[in-house]
Amino acid sequence: MAARVFVCLLTSDSGSLTAAELVRLLQVSPASVSKAIGYLEAMDLVGRAPDPGGRRERYVIDDDTWLRAWRTDTGAHAEIARTAQRGIALFGADSPAGTRLGQMGRFFDWLSGEMSGSGLSDTVMRDALTVLAALAYAARPLTADELARSLALPMERVADALAALEEHPSVADPLALLRTRPGTYAITTRSDRLSPAQREALATG
């Protein structure tokens, strides 16, 4: 819920919303919004400001958010990066919100890796890159079973590699793991790696 509230604030025109506006937009209870805001405030990702002309407070994402995020516990940074990727798919990579989410996703993905490390063993890293290579070579979606059989790897190692690619997008950058349907995977390019103008230029030749 905290990630949904954060993205909602980030994609609003003003970068700020009241609690009532968040409840209406997200269609959740006031208690859920209050809990999420408390969590985001504890991470210094959201501030409060008076609502001009009213008695309510507005929850704000200001220009210092990223700097404060650098100084704050990094536990949720990877989750925010993943949420940004889901937001890009929702709003479209070429939309203003998609562009902002792409910038945010890259920042938090990098921040998570720099401040806490990927936490992945050498074996998991090698297996993750091997799985990427297999998907690129096959040029079609593969199930986890097909990957394990083709690569002659135990299913547990393939599962760990797939989890690493989903939880740590920077491992695959500029590619991204794509779940085409439950248990089936392919690769694609990261939608936030190219700007809208770059994608348009490439598409038109």
Q: Flag whether pLDDT at 59 surpasses 80.
A: yes
The pTM for the full model equals: 0.47
Arch. (CATH architecture) of 2-115: Orthogonal Bundle (1.10)
142-168 burial: b if 16+ Cβ within 10 Å, else e:
bebebbbeebebeeebbebbbebbbbb
Give per-residue pLDDT as tens, 79-108. 777 788 778 878 887 788 778 787 787 777
Q: Where in the chain is CATH 1.10.10.10?
A: 2-115, 120-189
Computed over every residue of the chain, the mean pLDDT equals 81
CATH class of the region 120-189 = mainly alpha
Token couple for 180:
């085409």
DSSP, residue by residue, 154-196: -HHHHHHHHHHHHH-GGGTTTEEEEEEETTEEEEEE-TTSS-H
Q: Which residue has the tokens 């404060």?
A: 68
Rounded distance, CA 157 to CA 150, Å? Answer: 13
- pLDDT tens-digit profile of 138-186? 999 999 999 999 999 999 999 999 998 888 877 888 888 999 988 899 9
H-helix or E-strand spanning residue 116: helix 96-116
Token pair listed for 45: 């990702």
